[in-house]
Amino acid sequence: MSRSILIAGFKHETNTFSAQPADLAAFRSRGLYHSGEVADVFRGTRIEIAGFMEACDRHGWTPVYGTVSEATPSGPVSREAFETIAGEIVAAAAAQPLDGVLLQLHGAMVAAHTDDGEGEMLARLRGVLGREIPIAVTLDLHANVTGAMADLADIMVSYRTYPHIDMFEAASEAADILARTLAGEVRPKVTVARGPMIDGVDHGRTTSPGPMLEVLESAARFEKEAGVLSITVNAGFPWADIEEAGPSVVVVGDGAQPRHGEIAKQLMAEIWESRHRHTVTCVNAAAAMESIRQAGPGAKPIVLADFADNPGGGGYGDATGLLGAMIAADVQDAAFATVFDKEAAGICHQAGEGAQVSLSLGGKTDPKFGAPLDVRGTVMRLTDGKFILDGPMAKGARIDMGPSAVLRVGGIDIVVAGGRFQAYDRQYFLHAGIDPAKKSVIAVKSAQHFRAAYGPIAREIIVVDSGGGLTSNDFTTLSYNKVRRPVYPLDMD
């Protein structure tokens, strides 16, 4: 007899210091798909929902599709958005008998009415399913795993790569443990351990030797022990002012065994010991411009990452510090993706391709992160902002930035976007007629994910953090009120 498995998703990484709302419009802008749309939208992609679908095919299960939604990281999820999306998922769970649930979450969702969005989501599912129906969830590597999440989920698997190029694989792993559960082979139980820190393991970076790869290697050795089904390491999301923010180790074991807690604590001790080690050095914008000047032209581009204003971590995407420095330095043969400015994009569309325009660019959400730039340039290209990601991260996913434009200011082609998006894929340039591989300098609003697509074409990568944004790693500039204290690095070391 075929098993009925609910597939659904509710993802948001909440930067509690952001004033940008995560309302229903934000979810619709990034992706809000109802049950009848899910199969067509996600089949063939390399993200979690596709991994769940493939597992259903492989195990002979019947998928029952619920709502799948995601919004660009920003402030807390509005009550209306949470009630709407969670309500649709719970309704799908209650509509017919189920044998299990495969749920795509992020792990760092804060809502207007609760600091533990995922815990609340899981509690509502348990309210209609009871404790006997197994729930398997996938999480982002930057999850803040709470005690409620660990208690309410039977299976919990996070990505093991940053950039996140193993979303599909994480979903497959979670589904395969669910299959063993349904077959009666195992009775999974989640154990979580945290430490006195809000950021750790080099923020989870896996693109070079360092703390994250080392602790994952240790976890892999423990996974060989009998009774251990899965171990994942979460770097945590430090831009969330909640009590349980920070790195964690999740052990999924066959039943509740004291050994699983010992393993989690031992790995957390390893994370604590590595807290001072970082593989990325940030420089300010002035130092970045000097590096470009000294490097001169080259066959491959220098890649600048606007670390402090990363929309993938809740940055507004319109901070102007790096772009302003590039314009002032008269950087040539360059491209920048993206500057979020719906108003400026609209002016470009009204003027038309080839037109000369003068406008105020960026800095409109919060000028304290860089005032708007008064620029004059040429509208080089108009786009509808719609494209499909090439990958390797989230390959096949659909993006809709809204009407966007390429504005050439001096020697810089600027992708002015109608929506807030992290530029971690080359299509953010390519869809607008810009080949980033052929530029001398490219700049992206991204902290780490860009390395998957741009690392192979870069002659040098420069990470820029001038403190001009909501994702600066200088946490002392933020006012934490709820996080447990004392905690590293706010109080210790």
pLDDT for res 455: 97
Q: Give the pTM.
A: 0.96
Dihedral sign for Cα 475, 12, 206, 391, please.
Answer: negative
In tens, the pLDDT along 30-73 reads 999 999 999 999 999 999 999 999 999 999 999 999 999 999 99
Cα separation, 464 vs 441, in Å, equals 14
4-14 confidence digits (pLDDT tens): 999 999 999 99
pLDDT tens-digit series, residues 443-463: 999 999 999 999 999 999 999
Percent of the chain with pLDDT over 90: 95
What are the tokens at 54?
Answer: 């493939």
CA dihedral angle for residue 258, residue 260, residue 266, residue 271, rounded to 10 degrees: -140
**pLDDT in the model for residue 60:** 97
Gap between the Cα atoms of 242 and 116, Å rounded: 8
Return the bridge partners of 340, or none. 417
Q: What is residue 436's DSSP assignment?
A: G
d(CA 153, CA 374): 51
Q: Where are the domains of the chain?
A: 4-273, 282-474
Which of 134, 171, 138 lies closest to 56 in space, CA to CA? Answer: 171
Q: Report the distance separating Cα 110 and Cα 119, nearest Å.
A: 10
452: which residues sit within 8 A by CB, 6+ positions away? 163, 165, 391, 392, 393, 424
